[in-house]
Amino acid sequence: MQRRRVVITGIGPITPIGTSARGLRDGLRAERSAVREVTRFDTSPWRTHIAAQVDDFHATDHLEARRAKRLDRFGQFSVVAAQLALDDAQLDITRENRDRVGAMMGSALGGIGFAEEQMINFLQEGVRAVDPSVALKVFCGAASCNIAIEMGVTGPNSTNAMSCASGTIAIGEAFRQIRDGYADVMLAGGSEAPLAPLSFGAFAIIRAMSTRNDDPSSASRPFDRARDGFVMGEGAAVLLLEERSRALARGARVYAELVGFGTTNDAYHMTAPRPDGTQAARAMRLALSDADVQPHEVQYVNAHGSSTPLNDPTETLALKQVFGDHASRLRVSSTKGYYGHALGASGAFEAAISAFALHDEWLPPTVNLQCPDDACDLDYLPGHGRDARVEHVLSNSFGFGGINAALVFRRA
């Protein structure tokens, strides 16, 4: 069976540095971190008091009030990001065969923040104070199911919960649905709304997050010698994927072509990456093989780069295994210095940024990289972004449970 080609024609981001395709691009060009002191709840029980909040999102700016009320923040992020992607693609979903349009999303924690609110209501006021729809709002599958219901699309649908790689996996699986002929159009990405006391505190308890509370804007510093953990973020991003010939036939603007996907598992530890990086490297090799792209053909890598002591050197090691002598010529950056780590949404943010890098011919910097770790000795683009025309981009995501995922993009 001949594999069909898949292109990205719409991007719908809701991020701490900007909402909509234009908003995210402007936020990247500003080269500033959005990390600040948390203002939504009391962080005093925890060691960490900072996060990257989406402060300018109001669901009723995008949805009718009654529709917005039916969704928690996680669900609102999912549906609005999907609508932004459709708008950006200028695709009228009502004119499509909606059996051939699907939705695939990723989320590490789903509606856990809303669940926390309802538990407080229950403990303080009893069962009558609990939202009767809580069971329908908190499960991760609500992301793709709410998109399907709102858009009326009846094609392939799923939401995976594979931690910080889930957005990337969702996009990769949606890519396969179109490539292999099961769908013509897919809405794919990740959504995360984890900024609630216990959800936030759970990561503080295991000492995974930065405690640079006195200097929040420099706390997320991937590959830097002074990094001390990740900074939690929130948001969503959805990509509109289309079969290439139909996209071109309707005159769609194409950001990039998605050409490869690979995923593996370390089978090593729930929180620590496999020290030798072999399975992270294998995920990249699988994605490159799937794309029929040789390592020397990749010019830019959007790294997972979580700003944690263990991840960053392990990812560097894995990149060297995959790219060999070419690794020293790669341009690599982690964009989490801008917006922290939005868990399952991060891979979707970074897929969007990878597509922008190809389309706009500009590579974003690693914000806050001032003194690279000796074990992180590649060209991680410190300082400012670079104007560059590249042909292939690799984007990595790694998550709890040893999940590794990679996507390969080609210039349209």
On whether residue 278 sits in a domain, the answer given is yes
The pLDDT of residue 303 is 98
What's the full length of the chain, in residues? 412
What is the mean pLDDT of the segment spanning 225-250? 98
Average pLDDT, the chain: 97
> Out of 140, 145, 164, 376, which one is annotated catalytic?
164
Residues 238 and 267 in one domain: no
Q: How far apart are CA 280 and CA 375, in angstroms?
A: 17
Q: Which of 201, 228, 249 is the last residue of a domain?
A: 249
Count of domains for the chain: 2
Domain of residue 183 covers: 6-249
On whether residue 255 sits in a domain, the answer given is no
| Chain segment 333-355, per-residue pLDDT in tens | 999 999 999 999 999 999 999 99
**Planar angle of CA 234, 77, 99, nearest 5 degrees:** 135
Residues 355 and 222 in one domain: no
Residues 221 and 121 in one domain: yes
What's the sign of the alpha-carbon dihedral 147, 153, 158, 164?
negative
CATH value at residue 189: 3.40.47.10
What is the mean pLDDT of the segment spanning 193-213? 96
| Chain segment 64-78, per-residue pLDDT in tens | 999 999 999 999 999
The closest of 95, 64, 89 to 79, measured between CA atoms, is 64
Note if 140 is an active site residue.
Answer: no
Start-to-end CA distance of the chain, whole Å, equals: 23
Residues 242 and 267 in one domain: no
The pLDDT of residue 206 is 95
Q: Tokens 């729809």, residue? A: 133
| Chain segment 383-409, per-residue pLDDT in tens | 999 999 999 999 999 999 999 999 999
The closest of 323, 311, 326, 298 to 407, measured between CA atoms, is 298
The closest of 244, 210, 215, 243 to 227, measured between CA atoms, is 210
pLDDT-derived band at 54, boundaries 50, 70, 90: very high
Query: Is residue 1 predicted with pLDDT exceeding 90?
Result: no
On whether residue 1 sits in a domain, the answer given is no
The pLDDT of residue 2 is 79
Q: Which of 249, 283, 318 is the last residue of a domain?
A: 249
Residue type, 107: S
Residue type, 336: K
| Chain segment 255-286, per-residue pLDDT in tens | 999 999 999 999 999 999 999 999 999 999 99
| Chain segment 103-149, per-residue pLDDT in tens | 999 999 999 999 999 999 999 999 999 999 999 999 999 999 999 99
Residues 32 and 181 in one domain: yes
